[in-house]
Amino acid sequence: NAGVMQNPRHLVRRRGQEARLRCSPMKGHSHVYWYRQLPEEGLKFMVYLQKENIIDESGMPKERFSAEFPKEGPSILRIQQVVRGDSAAYFCASSSQMGQRDTEAFFGQGTRLTVV
């Protein structure tokens, strides 16, 4: 059973380009979470998705950022018109159930985005 898979592992974009980060949850998991780790800072929650639904996007920047988790395929975190401040490690986590107290989150290896 493969873990949470994120790709690419490293991504370099010029200012103004678009960045697309992909996350395939663990097999059997239908809940995906995106977190961002800025340099010298802790991980911050961005968005929580179920298949075809955004459940909680309270941590998403208001502009340029969007996320989806289609019925088929991986979850995508999309950043339009990237700026240097978007440079960070973006982590995806998945879990099997929502609202269950014993649910454990499993994390991917992250995508390190560098904006030049």
Partner 1 sequence: KQEVTQIPAALSVPEGENLVLNCSFTDSAIYNLQWFRQDPGKGLTSLLLIQSSQREQTSGRLNASLDKSSGRSTLYIAASQPGDSATYLCAVRTGGGNKLTFGTGTQLKVEL
Binding site for partner 1 (CB under 8 A): 31, 33, 35, 41-45, 48, 55-56, 91, 93, 95, 98-99, 101-110, 112
Residues 22, 78 contacting (CB under 8 angstroms): no
Residues 35, 16 contacting (CB under 8 angstroms): no
Q: Which is nearer to partner 1, 22 or 45 (CB)?
A: 45
C-alpha span between 88 and 19 (Å, rounded): 12
Q: Which is nearer to partner 1, 18 or 56 (CB)?
A: 56
Closest CA to 21 of 30, 32, 10: 10
What tokens appear for 116 in the block? Answer: 């030049």
Q: Which is nearer to partner 1, 63 or 102 (CB)?
A: 102
Size of the chain in residues: 116
What tokens appear for 84 in the block? Answer: 């240097």
Q: Which is nearer to partner 1, 82 or 92 (CB)?
A: 92
